[in-house]
Amino acid sequence: MSGTAGRGTALVLGGGGLVGIGWEAGMLYGLARAGADLTGADLVVGTSAGSVVGAQLTSGLLSPRELYERQLADPAGEIAAKLGAGLVARYALAMLRSRDAAEYGRRAGALALAADTPTEAERRAVLAARLVSHEWPERRLVVTAVDALTGEGAAFDREDGAGLVDAVAASCAVPGVWPPVTIGGRRYVDGGFRSAVNADLASGYRRVVILAPLPVGVGRLPSPVRQAERLRAEGARVLLITSSPEARKAFGRNLLDPARRAPAARAGLAQAAAHAAEAAAVWSGA
């Protein structure tokens, strides 16, 4: 698309494991508390961690403060996991061997399909408990994933026939850690294996705020900065907020550690004040 973006507001929530969920929740509460409430976005795009936050935010059942406070609770029911050095090395090798994002998605999908993980049912139960509503919201929520066989990106919404819990489980299905999720007879893995934020899905919106716990792109995958620049080139007013050095320290070394979710949430809350004025200006069009 070229020219001036024509629709309203879009909130893009990127991936980042359990710490990403915490940081985004803290950031959204901190922004709202400082006068930049983004919860009324016309479009919410959620990738991996962002799909969880997006589903909670658009449910209408939680205020930003309640969403934040949920991150401070005891993470009972979460299954502990770790992105080990060996798995990260396999990701890196798959990236080096891939000519484009789709080929990388296929390689990551093959890794996921061959891995020994908890069952789909076990993992689905965790995601079902994490969400306060299992129904798609009235406002437009788009949840991203990657087809494990083709490597192509998928964008689920209430019109696709996929259940919300299944869509979120697919978006959070880290290859080699969690099982691919079956939707419509196909298997899907983490949407972050197309892009950390998938901000291109906000194309056509006039005002866009992107929250990116993971600020960099990897290999063939476009960085949040690059995707934000493309939206600006279309005529959108865009604010990209990435995790601060202090927040990344709070994340620790394991993005999937349930014990790091609360420190990440507090770090997001603390960081929000630095971005509130600009976020409010972008959101209002001032």
Q: Is 166 a catalytic residue?
A: no
**CB contact at 8 A, 222 and 195:** yes
CB atoms within 10 A of CB 218: 16
**CB contact at 8 A, 285 and 40:** no
> Strand, coil or helix: what is 10?
strand
Q: Is 147 a catalytic residue?
A: no
Is the C-alpha dihedral spanning 83, 151, 54, 209 positive or negative? positive
List the beta strands (DSSP E) in the chain.
Answer: 7-13, 43-47, 140-147, 153-156, 181-183, 186-190, 205-212, 237-242
Q: Phi and psi for 189 in degrees, rounded to 5?
A: -125, 180
**CB contact at 8 A, 202 and 12:** yes
Residue of 48, 98, 171, 223 marked catalytic:
48
Residue of 147, 166, 171, 190 marked catalytic:
190
Catalytic positions: 48, 190
